[in-house]
């Protein structure tokens, strides 16, 4: 019985406090930096109050009390189709620039991948060299034979931590991959 009495007292006090806060007037105005302030205390003198919600009224009852002009917020610069296209072109150019090849991505490149797949996985190379048709040892059905193939080399730059990458394609398929100087 005593526990019941002690637990109801805090509940009654919190309900009483909530009822008094619900009857307070709310003021909405802009502060000196242009920030929107919503408060139950009136604004300082000389500041225009845009809305007052009277006691007992719901949020749909708003009145305007003009006392000074609120400065207009600076409008955002409109995005034009030209600026959007320029921004997309910059992103595309950054995406197409040759980047150093991460060692993990390098290890996941399987021999026999097509040039399009390699380009999709690690991006375009910094430099391409076409060597024409040359006689090379090629794997054909598990057997290595000499065959004339079209040879192309792709070079990716290094960085302070990553070594340069050299990829060699035979007839459009990845045949050799090397990290470090070719």
pLDDT tens for residues 7-49?
A: 677 776 676 666 555 556 777 777 777 777 877 777 777 776 6
* CB-based burial, 36-55: b 16+ in 10 Å, e otherwise: eeeeeeebeeebebbebbee
Of the pLDDT bands very low, low, confident and very high (cuts 50, 70, 90), residue 86 is: confident
What CATH number is attached to the domain comprising 152? 3.30.1450
Q: What is the DSSP letter of 100?
A: P
Is 35 within a domain? yes
Say if residues 155 and 126 touch (Cβ distance below 8 Å): yes
Domain boundary residue, one of 18, 42, 65: 65
- Domain containing 134 equals 103-179
Exposed, middle or buried by CB within 10 Å (0-12, 13-18, 19+), for 99?
middle
Is 97 within a domain? no
Same domain, 57 and 107: no
The pLDDT value given to residue 49 = 63
Residue 142 pLDDT exceeds 90:
no
CA distance linking residue 122 with residue 83, whole number of Å: 29
More reliable by pLDDT, 31 or 117: 117
Instruction: For residues 107-121, give the mean pLDDT.
Output: 89
The pLDDT value given to residue 1 = 47
The pLDDT value given to residue 181 = 65
Angle at 38 between CA 33 and CA 42, to 5 degrees: 90
Q: 50-73 pLDDT, tens per residue?
A: 666 555 555 544 455 454 555 666
CB atoms within 10 A of CB 175: 19
């Amino acid at each position: 019985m005593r526990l019941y009495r002690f637990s109801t007292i805090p509940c009654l006090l919190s309900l009483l406090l909530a009822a008094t806060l619900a009857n307070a007037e709310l003021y909405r105005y802009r502060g000196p930096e242009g920030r929107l302030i919503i408060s139950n205390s009136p604004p300082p003198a000389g500041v225009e109050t845009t809305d007052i919600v009277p006691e007992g009224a719901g949020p749909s009852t708003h009145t305007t009390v003009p006392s000074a002009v609120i400065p207009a917020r600076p409008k955002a610069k409109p995005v034009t189709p030209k600026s959007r296209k320029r921004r997309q072109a910059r992103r595309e150019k950054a995406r197409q620039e040759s980047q150093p090849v991460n060692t993990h991505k390098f290890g996941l490149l399987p021999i026999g991948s097509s040039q399009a797949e390699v380009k999709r996985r690690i991006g375009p190379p910094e430099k391409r060299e076409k060597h024409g048709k040359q006689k090379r040892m090629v794997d054909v059905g598990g057997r290595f034979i000499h065959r004339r193939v079209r040879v192309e080399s792709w070079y990716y730059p290094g960085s302070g931590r990553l070594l340069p990458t050299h990829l060699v394609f035979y007839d459009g398929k990845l045949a050799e991959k090397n990290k470090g100087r070719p």
